[in-house]
Chain A
Amino acid sequence: MTWFRAASGAARLALRRSLATRTPPAAATRCGRCFHSTAMRPRSAAPVPRAVPLSRLSDSFLDGTSSVYLEELQRTWEADPSSVDESWDNFFRNFVAQASPSAGVSGQTIQESMQLLLLVRAYQVNGHMMAKLDPLGLDDRAVPEDLRLGLYGFTEADLDREFFLGVWRMSGFLSENRPVLTLREILNKLQQAYCGPIGYEYMHIPDRDKCNWLREKIETAKPKEYNKDRRLVMLDRLIWSTQFENFLATKWATAKRFGLEGGETLIPGMKEMFDRAADLGVENIVIGMPHRGRLNVLGNVVRKPLSQIFSEFTGGTRPVEGEDGLYTGTGDVKYHLGTSYDRPTRGGNRIHLSLVANPSHLEAVDPVVIGKTRAKQFYSNDADRTKNMGILIHGDGSFAGQGVVYETLHLSALPNYTTGGTIHIVVNNQVAFTTDPRAGRSSQYCTDVAKALNAPIFHVNGDDLEAVVCVCELAAEWRQTFHSDVVVDLICYRRFGHNEIDEPSFTQPKMYQVIKNHPSSLKLYEQKLLGTGEVMKEDVQRIHDKVNRILNEEFAKSKDYVPNKRDWLSAYWTGFKSPEQISRVRNTGVKPEILKRVGQAITTLPENFKPHRAVKKIFELRAAMIESGQGIDWAVAEALAFATLIVEGNHVRLSGQDVERGTFSHRHAVLHDQETGAKYCPLDHVAMDQNEELFTVSNSSLSEFAVLGFELGYSMENPNSLVLWEAQFGDFANGAQVMFDQFLSSGEAKWLRQTGLVVLLPHGYDGQGPEHSSARLERFLQMSDDNPFVIPEMEPTLRKQIQECNWQVVNVTTPANYFHLLRRQIHREFRKPLIVTAPKNLLRHKDCKSNLSEFDDVEGHLGFDKQGTRFKRLIKDRNDHKQVEEGVNRLILCSGKVYYELDEERKKSERGDVAICRVEQLCPFPYDLIQRELKRYPNAEIVWCQEEPMNMGAYSYISPRLFTAMKALGRGSFEDIKYVGRAPSAATATGFLSVHAQEQSELVKKALQAEPIKFL
């Protein structure tokens, strides 16, 4: 009887869960859907079982039960239901369904009803373990014991007995509406539903309605069938998918293309998914996928011109650079490129498809795709998230192995990151390059990571085209119904090696023996259709001939293919300039009255709102700053930049860890009522009837990689938005290093995609140790693509310096300059990423203040000479310095907060003969302004001062560029650039506060020392 005891435990859990979720009678009577009327019933509705406290169930329901006791109890209940305990009355009523005319099928006992329930549940939970998922038949998985009939006490002799299976409030096979079945029929249905070419995993989802919805789809009375017309379309698509790869293999036998052979059913599956999604309201699909099969998807799904794909195989035709001076960037391999297309669907709709460009770094594109999808939802007012959908295609090894997958999945239900569900398709060819699944993951399936998100997972045999189509449609339906993530695990194989010249038999000999003789999915499907008599051989051949003809026509055209000059910009980007076109420098100042009004809006709190007293004081101080127009600090400057952009109609979105308050308790973008806990965001109230999301500030999950990727994708959708990501501390940006290296620094060059994303990286030496001092400024500067030995055209009307550089790196020192910097991102006709080393102690530094007059667009007034109406790439020393100051014998160039310490020391030591200039924009280098200062101080020795160690910070970037500027003016050579800063170091900063203080003091004193500074 041990099996019964174990089963009883499972039943207790199942029953408790089932009964606990039941609605009380009063609510049930108002919910018409709770009843399942049937013509067979003599009464209008079944009586509703009464709720029973769990404690009573756990105390007496199944404990101590035995078959004899249960049967005796049943007999007693049948004689007189009121003679047994109320809980037993509910139990018998629920599981035998006395109210139904078909109840009490001859010989069926309570015990057997429970056993049947457990049997059905076992198939729902573990049926996938018996499913025929591997097209190669190499999987040798142990069949779970709970799928065996014997476990439940049934024998062969019971197969033809009839049983009733109805359960209240359950869909599928356990639905009350199902007819009486023999045990054999029940088993066949269970195996048909759960052990065929599809393995369903969904019982990890705690939501009863979702499970019932799936059961309704899976546990159908008859297996799903497609009519002839649908089958012909599917066949046509599979032929295209297969012939495409065959064609490439024939024409370019040794080219690397990462073909889809072995997984060709992905293409018709995706197309059917898109058709179904369009039927259900989807208008835009954003796709991210790796190299495997990408060319096939580009050509057959996203309809990139085949002639273009073919031309890229012949070395890739590069647009003639001389012609119009077009910017072509440096390009990328053909299986990384993206494209977009407006596709007609079966239902007569049109759907816009975008395939996002991606690097070889597997899964790195995932968060970019969902960020772009989210932005599309914002701009199309898709509040229900039913019109814009993201689809991610994954490899099996990378889905299990790359951490960014889990990071991205964990954005899926966060309020400010959700896209209402992403469909994930894993092209599971069961070998990661040369590595078997056993070595590539600890979990049974590569998709198990998705269970953490309660995403249903549909494993499907990739050779069964109709099964693939079925689950692709089901995934689309799930996404449009529940707006959450769903996974299709397409189990296939890789007919060739990792790429076409790779030999896979070295490491997977048995697998490739099987593959060698394995028929393609197309061959299998053709045989199936021919076997049904629905399709003739001539019909199949006609499709083959058509496809071959078109492929050859496109091949012929590819020889003369001329790329479109500007086919890469979407509608939102119309009018934006590429690097070879001049974009005029514009003012970024704002009218004083607008500044005042906006400033008042962002410093006013609602009357009944009770902020923390310290926050209240901060806001009172802020209101005073606005009122007096003086002492504007960093946080207020940032808020003014955001607010003024918003009133101009732009979207502002700021994301990162703890950005709502700010790591340094400075921003206070979201306030919390101390009594009610209600939230208030001043920047949501700067414009009339402001869209709730026009300003979005969001504390992100503790992820750098996925969140930065998300914001990058978001920023790429529409240029009229300021999208910012802030690191907790600058050093932690390295958790997202792939984003900087593969996307942000080189995305425009590789894929001709602009972005104006702003990255805020807290940076500054305050003695807080190695991980909380540096933003690794040197890494970003080193990735800059400007030539340090060439001074570009610097005349303002002809300047394209920033456009020709891959990104901007700045280290700003005043609130006003920060204000103009942010606004400059939007008030230009191009977009470039912006890396900002953000402040820490400057947030509250007594001298780091600006006057409101520095923010406005008025010329000639007091304060104008301090800031002007634009971002200052370099801040000169004093306003009263003449064009030439021969009495200055040292010019210190520096960047960031060290300026304030140098200035303080200069006052203390009364060094009137030292000038200090702040290089606010490090990259691209402001040659014109540097040379202006060199001319101003003709007798000065030139010093670069930084608080970072010599092998970090800006020194190695600045040194050759400063040399170039000096050389052009005859001011000397490398040895004439004196260095003041910390010594080279392995860690960014010392761990000892006292050592830090000493180092900082020494470098500041050295910079101001009376005697000349030695070279190093």
Chain B
Amino acid sequence: MYQVIKNHPSSLKLYEQKLLGTSEVMKEDVQRIHDKVNRILNEEFAKSKDYVPNKRDWLSAYWTGFKSPEQISRVRNTGVKPKILKRVGQAITTLPENFKPHRAVKKIFELRAAMIESAQGIDWAVAEALAFATLIVEGNHVRLSGQDVERGTFSHQHAVLHDQETGAKYCPLDHVAMN
């Protein structure tokens, strides 16, 4: 392989020969480009001795305002107004009238609605759903991915419900904010 490579012309040499062969390009044209590239490379090489890296050239526009490790980021509250919690909680525990969930799932959602109503006994799945929902009403995007996460490995999330007659799907968290 390397015997062949040793004698093999570069793709540049081949293309130069092709263009020269078509007479579209003159030798002087090719040389001019070579000279220009060499000049710029040498200029940049000279500049590299004095190069000073930009301090913060790694943040994209979306990340404007975000702090790096040496900057202090003030600890903020993550609580949500009670009325928002209530309204959002009702939204995520309500199913459409004509939707027929599995009876066990229906019972789960009734229990969840009761948790929201009484404000007591909130379990893990509801807490997670409330976190997602409140972030969404604040305008954030929430994306959850993984094997069997729609129901949850331990049959707990129920983020996607399936109508037992039609097979239609319903996702309560798709209905927490206007539009």
Contacts and interface: CB of A to CB of B under 8 A. Distances in A.
A970 to B, nearest CB: 44
A510 interface: yes
Most chain B C-beta atoms within 10 Å of own C-beta, residue among A506, A509, A674: A506
Interface in B99-139: 102, 104-105
Contacts of B162: 505-509
B147 A503 contact: no
B173 to A, nearest CB: 16
B150 A507 contact: yes
Nearest to A397: B147
Contacts of B167: 509-510
Interface in B127-172: 147-148, 150-151, 153, 155, 158, 160-165, 167
Given A509-B162, A509-B165, A509-B167, A503 B155 contact: yes
Given A506-B155, A507-B162, A509-B167, A433 B148 contact: yes
Contacts of B105: 506
Contact of B151 (A432, A507, A510, A674): A507
A977 to B, nearest CB: 30
Contacts of A502: 155
A674 B148 CA distance: 56
Contact of B147 (A433, A506, A508, A510): A433
Nearest to B161: A506
Contacts of A513: 164
B147 A505 contact: no
A434 interface: yes
B35 to A, nearest CB: 33
Interface string A615-631: 00000000000000000
A435 interface: yes
A440 to B, nearest CB: 9
Given A503-B102, A503-B104, A509 B151 contact: no
Given A506-B102, A509-B102, A434 B151 contact: yes
A321 to B, nearest CB: 34
Interface residues on A, range: 10 to 19
Interface in A490-523: 502-503, 505-510, 513
B165 A434 contact: no
A513 B153 CA distance: 22
A1010 B167 CA distance: 78
A433 B161 CA distance: 15
Which of B104, B147, B160: most chain A Cβ within 10 A? B147
A507 B162 CA distance: 6
Contacts of A508: 162
Interface in B28-74: none
A506 B104 contact: yes
B103 to A, nearest CB: 9
A434 B163 contact: no
A995 to B, nearest CB: 14
A273 to B, nearest CB: 30
A509 B104 contact: no
A446 to B, nearest CB: 15
A435 B155 contact: no
Contacts of A433: 147-148, 153
Contact of B150 (A434, A503, A505, A674): A434
Contacts of A505: 102, 162, 164
Contacts of B148: 432-435
B147 A509 contact: no
Nearest to A433: B148
A510 B167 CA distance: 6
A508 B105 CA distance: 13
A652 B99 CA distance: 65
A433 B155 CA distance: 11
Nearest to B154: A502
A432 B148 CA distance: 8
Contact of A509 (B3, B150, B158, B164): B164
A831 to B, nearest CB: 35
Contacts of A674: 3
Contacts of B160: 507
Contacts of B164: 505, 509, 513
A509 B163 contact: yes
Contacts of A435: 147-148, 150
A509 B163 CA distance: 7
Contacts of A507: 150-151, 160, 162
Nearest to B104: A503
A509 B161 CA distance: 10
A523 B172 CA distance: 42
A469 B161 CA distance: 39
A506 B165 contact: no
A503 B103 CA distance: 11
A433 B152 CA distance: 10
Contacts of B151: 434, 506-507
Contacts of B158: 506
A435 B148 CA distance: 6
A180 to B, nearest CB: 49
B168 to A, nearest CB: 9
A510 B105 CA distance: 16
Nearest to B153: A433
B106 to A, nearest CB: 11
Nearest to B100: A509
Interface in A505-562: 505-510, 513
A432 B105 CA distance: 20
Nearest to A497: B155
Interface in B1-42: 3
Interface string A423-459: 0000000001111000000000000000000000000
A797 to B, nearest CB: 51
Nearest to B108: A506
A505 B158 CA distance: 12
A506 B3 CA distance: 65
A510 B3 CA distance: 65
A558 to B, nearest CB: 31
A433 B153 CA distance: 9
B83 to A, nearest CB: 32
Scoring B161, B164, B165 by chain A CB atoms within 10 A of each residue's CB, the highest score goes to B164
A503 B154 CA distance: 11
Nearest to A511: B167
Contacts of B3: 674
A434 B102 CA distance: 15
A434 B156 CA distance: 13
A503 B164 CA distance: 13
A508 B164 CA distance: 8
A653 to B, nearest CB: 27
B144 to A, nearest CB: 13
A505 B161 CA distance: 10
A433 B102 CA distance: 17
A690 to B, nearest CB: 29
Contacts of B104: 503, 506
Interface in A288-327: none
A503 B147 CA distance: 17
Contacts of B165: 509
Nearest to A508: B162
A503 B102 CA distance: 10
B20 to A, nearest CB: 30
Contacts of A434: 148, 150-151
A591 to B, nearest CB: 42
Given A435-B148, A506-B104, 5 more contacts: A435-B150, A503-B104, A506-B102, A509-B165, A513-B164
Interface of A: 432-435, 502-503, 505-510, 513, 674
Interface of B: 3, 102, 104-105, 147-148, 150-151, 153, 155, 158, 160-165, 167
8 smallest CB-CB distances across A and B, nearest first, come from A509-B164, A510-B167, A434-B148, A434-B151, A433-B148, A509-B162, A507-B151, A506-B102
15 contacts: A434-B148, A434-B150, A434-B151, A435-B147, A435-B150, A503-B155, A506-B158, A506-B161, A506-B162, A507-B150, A507-B162, A509-B102, A509-B164, A513-B164, A674-B3
